[in-house]
Structures are given as structure tokens and as C-alpha cells.
Structure 1
Amino acid sequence: MNDEGSIPVQGRTPPAEAPDASETPAGATPAARPRRRGLRTAGRLAVAAVLGLVGGTAVGYGIQAEREPTPLPPLNQPALAYPKPLPGGEEPEPFSAAEDRQVKAEGDLRKLLLPRPAGARPDGVDGWWSLAEYANDFTWPGAALEHQLQLDIRRVAVRSWLSGEDRSVSIRLVQYRPSSMIGPLEFVRDQQRNAIRDDESGSLGTEVKGSGNGRYFLYPVERKPGYQDFHQARAFVQKDDIAIEILVFDARKIAEKDIRSLAERQLERL
């Protein structure tokens, strides 16, 4: 019993009186509250539950892996063949060699070139062009060859001639491998963009009738002191795995019907 007559309880410490805020020294850090033991116990139980779940899942996968695989049930429709063959006597007739475009393109590509007009004179190569020779006809041969190889170029047939006094005509059939059908279309579009860029008049060219994507271009005359006038026309058409290039140069004016006729007739031969 203390002096005031109260009896202390065994094992229990009387609560300390809260310090007066006015008595806390300036700049001192207040003491942290003591951690409650219940939160730590709950955390341990949660971790144990997660470990038990992971362990059970692993054991389940192990048991499933040791079992024999369950065979799938048979299909309800065992004869699934599409397209189904036609009854006897109703099969279509196969294409003739004249109708089958692939047969024509797989043959001698030189035979598909327009013939040289009567009275015209050969000019340069008339037949096959190696890939290196073809690339050398571009402004940057190395870059052109690399680009053509990326497009999966296969072979090039060319026919060139001179007619009249100064007219030069060159027709090229550039064939790409069937595995890269995008090759001829991309090349033709590239050449058409170049042709539009080179035409200071802003012309977008004229569609080649029946081609779907072919265009021909007729350029304004170029004049320089001391030189002959320079006229040119170009045509670029894609047909299946073949890109058609037609280039015409002359010191005299080129009629629109001339380049249009060359493009349409060469397309017909394919």
C-alpha cells in the first residue's frame, strides 16, 4: 500500500502520463508507437497460406504430367475434303497453251516482246539482259541491283530499235519470281512515282487502257543552247509477274498515240 492507500496490481505497470507538448524540446522527434503483435502474426499466416497454395498447384501439375494422355474423340465428319471433286464428265477443260498465261510467261520471254517495226534498225541489246547490265542502266547501279534482288527479280528481256532520224525505242520485260508477286507491282509504282517527279508540268500521266495500274507519260520538250531538242515518253505497266518498261526518246515531238499504242500492244502480247 502506498502513501495514498492504493494497492498496486501484480504484473501491470501503471500507464505513464503523456508528456506535455510544451515540454518537448524543440527539434526532437516524437517516439514511435509500439508495433501491435497481432499484425505480425496475421502476415505470417497469409504467407503460409500462399506457400501452401503454390505447393499444392505444383503437386497437381506433377500428377497430371505422369498420367497417360486422353485420346480425342473421333470427328463426326471423317470425310472433309475441300474443294470436293466434280462428278465424272463435269470437269472443266484445261487451258490451252495460248490461254494459259503462266505457260506463256514460263517460255521464252523474248518472244513476248513487240517485234521491231519494218524499216527500224537494231539499237544495242536485242534479247536477254543480265541483272548487272540491267542495273547499269540506272543512275545508281549498285542501289538498283540491291533493290531488284530484294524484289526477287528473275530475268530481263529487252528489245531496242532506231526509227526515223533520231527516234530511239526500248522495251523491257522484267520478270520476278512467282513467290514474290509484290515485286513487279512495287517496281512499277516506284517508276511511276519517279516519272511524275521528273515531269515539271505536274502531270500524273495517263492510264493504259485495260491495264488496271499502268500509266504512260509524255514530257514537255527540253531545250538547251547548242543541243538538239529532247523529247521523251515513258510507260510502266504491271501484268502478273512481269513489269513492262517502255522508253521513247526523240529530237522531234512524240505523238501521244505513239507511246499509248506501244503500251497497249505490248500489254496485249502478255
Structure 2
Amino acid sequence: MEVSEVSEGPEWPERPEEVGSPEVPKPRRRGRTTLLIAGAAVLGLVAGTCAGFLVQADREPTKLPSLSQSVVKQAKGDGPEPLSAAQDRKVKVDGDLRRLLIKRPRGTQEYSTGDDGWMDVAAYSEEYTKPGDIFSGRLDDEFRRAAVTGWSRGDAYTVEIRLVQYRQEEDLAAAESIHSWKVTGTRSWAIPGTGEGMAYVDTRPDTKPGYLPMYQAQAHAYRGDIAMEIWIFDSKPIPKKTIMDLAERQMGRL
């Protein structure tokens, strides 16, 4: 087989020092005509600028818009009337908290674990199976005070309602408190108009030797710095309507 001849690439040009340095082109001399045209252009520019200044000087100055704003007339009268104590929630919740509790129904007997309608943090904690834990927890939550009311009917039916108020200087304790209840074996419903408020009803009674079987219902909701707690106990199942009605009526007063 014949081997084809490999073609060589283009040869590099000889180095400049070998072929001689190329001649540097010299600037072309400008003729007189070019200088005359340039001078005329400069004179024309100056003349046009002067003419523009003269025209502008003959015109009246354009008035600038005023920088000041138009004066707004002050409304007549003394302004809106302040809210009454019944309308101002701040006044309402900082007053006698017991006045916000719903009234005891007719035909029932008074039942309350409070002292003249009040509970301090110690009395509140004693209502739970682990009072020490509740006591320290409520102190951490900035417990302020609690108003309480309750009633009974017959041998087993009891109701207790508590309005627990927190200082809330660091945490939203009222809102957090309604999530602290662990409720099992119950049916539950949201309380209308309360955001996260919930009501619970036991489906099975709590039984202890020597005691009647006891059913329980409870409701938890909050508004502002006040947490609502409702507890109902009875020896027979508690209807949903009973706990929901109490919860909605009580929250309507806050």
C-alpha cells in the first residue's frame, strides 16, 4: 500500500529583523480647507447658543407650583366619645372578674370551691391530682387571679366555671393553657366563635369502688388574657348540648 505524502502546513513568516521593520504610516497633513470648515462650525455653535439665551431672556419666567399643602379643615366637635365601661373590654376584664361569670340557674344550689368567688394559685392547684406540678406551672405562666362559680342539682350533677386570668408579660399563657389538657376516651367539638376553643364529653364513666359511676364533660377556650374552664360531673351521660350551651354563653360575656 502506498503511503500518501503528508502535506506540510503554512510556513511561518520570517522574523521582522530578518525581513526589515515595516514603515510606520505618518499622519496626513490637513489642508487649509479643513481648518476653515472647523472654524465655521465652532462659530455657528456659539452663535446658536447666544441666540437661545436672548430668546429665553425675553420670555416671562414660568411660575413654579407652590410647595405648601392645602390647609385641611379641622372636623367640628370634640371627637369620638370614649367607650363606656361595658364596651371597653380593658375596663371590663380589669374590674371585678366575678361579674363576667354567668349566673347560677334557678332551681340549683350554690356549689363552688372558691372563697367568695375567688381562687388564688394555691387553691386553684389543690383541685388537681398533682397540685405541686400545677402550682409551679401556673406561677411560671404568670397566674394573676381566678374567678369561680358553680352549682349543683340532685345528688350527682355539679357544674363549676372558672375564669383564669394571666399577666401575659412574657408569654400568651391564656392561649397556651387550653392546649394543656390531655383528654382521652371522649367526644369533642369546636366551640363556635372561639378560635381554638374545644368542648369534650366522656363516652365512658369513671368508676371507683364505693362511688357512683361518674361521667365528665369539660370546655376550654380563651379570649385575651383570660382562659375559661368549665367542668360538669354527673352519674349519667352528659349531653353535648349541655356543655356547648354553657361554653358559648360564658364566652359571650368575655
TM above 0.5, yes or no, is yes
Partner of residue 98, structure 2: 110
Q: 1:141 aligns with which of 124, 131, 134?
A: 131
> Residues 250 and 173 from structure 1, CA distance in 2 versus in 1: closer, same or farther, beyond 3 angstroms?
same
- Give RMSD over aligned pairs: 2.0
1:56-99 Cα deviation digits (max 9, x unpaired): xxxxxxxxxxxxxxxxxxxxxxxxxxxxxx94448433222111
Partner of residue 200, structure 1: 185
Partner of residue 89, structure 2: 101
Task: Please state if 1:160 is matched with 2:150.
Answer: yes
**Hey, which bits of structure 1, 4+ residues long, moved more than 6 A?**
none
C-alpha contact 2:162 2:229 (8 A) present in aligned 1? yes
Q: Distance in 2 between matches of 1:228 and 1:166?
A: 8
Q: Which moved more, 1:122-131 or 1:105-114?
A: 122-131
Percent identity reads: 39
- Unaligned runs of 5+ residues in structure 1 are 1-85
Task: Please state if 1:254 is matched with 2:244.
Answer: no
Partner of residue 229, structure 1: 213
> Residues 227 and 138 from structure 1, CA distance in 2 versus in 1: closer, same or farther, beyond 3 angstroms?
closer
Partner of residue 263, structure 1: 247
Task: Please state if 1:209 is matched with 2:197.
Answer: no
Is the partner of 1:179 in helix, strand or coil?
coil
Q: Distance in 1 between matches of 2:92 and 2:104?
A: 20
Partner of residue 127, structure 1: 117
**Aligned residue type for 1:200:** G
C-alpha contact 2:206 2:215 (8 A) present in aligned 1? no
> Residues 180 and 105 from structure 1, CA distance in 2 versus in 1: closer, same or farther, beyond 3 angstroms?
farther
**Aligned residue type for 1:95:** L
Is the partner of 1:146 in helix, strand or coil?
helix
Task: Please state if 1:185 is matched with 2:170.
Answer: no
- Unaligned runs of 5+ residues in structure 2 are 1-72
1:194-227 Cα deviation digits (max 9, x unpaired): 12xxx235x4x21111111111001112264764
Larger radius of gyration: 2
Cα offset for 1:143? 1.4
> Residues 223 and 214 from structure 1, CA distance in 2 versus in 1: closer, same or farther, beyond 3 angstroms?
closer
> Residues 137 and 93 from structure 1, CA distance in 2 versus in 1: closer, same or farther, beyond 3 angstroms?
same
Cα offset for 1:252? 1.5
